[in-house]
Structure 1
């Protein structure tokens, strides 16, 4: 097997309900190449100096910053969405990260939504940081489907310089993952590796435990020389112990590295 070019990072969200600080410790112990910081209600995730100290102490670089775009983070780093993105960019620059992950606007953020595509291009032109817009999914309640994102949960309907593909979100959206990746083309700059079974919930299963083409995607990334990062973003909230949580995260890392490394060998005659 060859050494994959893409680095494999751990999302700090993957250790919840443990802390951001715990994510750095776990990433170091399991041998991840770095972390993606989910900026949310944990005060440490919002504190650049604290994050830099954790990174230095554990020897684990911050490879990406996930801007606070969730419903529960509407007041984190300001209520103004553009201020959030500016602070995420500044955090990425100070921490040495290469990517800011951002969600499409919610439909009720009308002014932000109107300017989002132009604004993302403008901000991307002011820095070397990649602003990678992430695919989302329709919200479902019983038999109803609500379109919560503007103009759509599928960012490939708009013109962005970089995209993030999230395989739990493709499962929840019940869309063709590889077709979406094809539409993203060489603008695919970032990957959230996870799995799902296509339920109405955003499951974030350990890759290999759902129905998504996780192995096929990873192998295709290796074949094309993907130069972005692959981030393990899985849900370990149901783990009964710290040991069980770490076992899931170790399995996810091994799966991801295996399929990133296997593809070039398979491609040889």
Structure 2
């Protein structure tokens, strides 16, 4: 089966989840990753199910509200994860994407790895912990996450790999996806130049060898989902956002179908 290419609802921000479904259908994406935010639709299984039926596109993943901007959504960290699992199960989405806890969430950080494993095993929903990046203040690294920003050093069963975060962290996505092996569950397809800012560029515009990453995934028999998660907030002209998302989809399908030897 071809590796599915989904659209993250974050890629149409500040537009709505409804707009994400409409855009994904228009451009030919295989499904959606819904990022849970303050937007009521993103939290509502019935509303999301209505959109899946209307646009004939499945929700393939749920991104838990574990960002700084969504700290007020669904209360405590574990409740965020549990509610995201429940939402995923109701929509038949197989993956929940989570960020590692922030360092000030020490109670959750201490048992995070075993906690996500237990919840995944009891629910049957994969919880894929996303790679982040070190925070830097005046040139010095600040410890922002527990147990850490790099999933390579942890014993998570399932990992989401984000190419923009890798660029900001100064690590190679190609080497990392190779090293993760069967633990690699989910991909956020984007790019970055190595700036301290999390850029979420169109794949191919940064330094993360995005084409070779996709070619490797296809050749390695990757069984997860590739999700377009680029920033379109600076899109200006009519249709420019759609052009960027169409370019990302073309890039993904071209290189996932490539037989070029790596």
* Common fold: TM-score over 0.5: yes
- Structure 1: gaps (5+ residues): none
Shift, 1:242, TM fit: 4.4
Is the 8 Å Cα contact of residues 3 and 225 (structure 2) preserved in structure 1? yes
User: Normalized against structure 1, the TM-score is what?
Assistant: 0.94
The equivalent residue for 1:235 is 231
Q: What do residues 177-230 of structure 1 show as CA deviations (whole Å, max 9, x unaligned)? A: 222223311110000000000001000001011111100110000001111000
Is the 8 Å Cα contact of residues 5 and 227 (structure 1) preserved in structure 2? no
Q: What do residues 68-112 of structure 1 show as CA deviations (whole Å, max 9, x unaligned)? A: 00001111012x111111110111110111100011111000000
* Alpha-carbon distance between aligned partners in 1 of 2:45 and 2:101, rounded to the nearest angstrom: 25
Q: Is 1:161 paired with 2:157? A: yes
* Alpha-carbon distance between aligned partners in 2 of 1:52 and 1:241, rounded to the nearest angstrom: 32
Instruction: Tell me: higher relative CO, structure 1 or 2? Use CA pairs within 8 A at least 6 residues apart.
Output: 1
Is the 8 Å Cα contact of residues 162 and 187 (structure 2) preserved in structure 1? yes
SS at match of 2:80: helix
User: Normalized against structure 2, the TM-score is what?
Assistant: 0.97
The equivalent residue for 1:68 is 65
Shift, 1:13, TM fit: 0.2
* Alpha-carbon distance between aligned partners in 2 of 1:183 and 1:123, rounded to the nearest angstrom: 25
Is the 8 Å Cα contact of residues 5 and 225 (structure 1) preserved in structure 2? no
- Structure 2: gaps (5+ residues): none
- Runs ≥4 residues deviating over 6 A: none
SS at match of 1:97: coil
* Alpha-carbon distance between aligned partners in 1 of 2:202 and 2:38, rounded to the nearest angstrom: 24
Q: Is 1:107 paired with 2:103? A: yes
Is the 8 Å Cα contact of residues 36 and 42 (structure 2) preserved in structure 1? yes
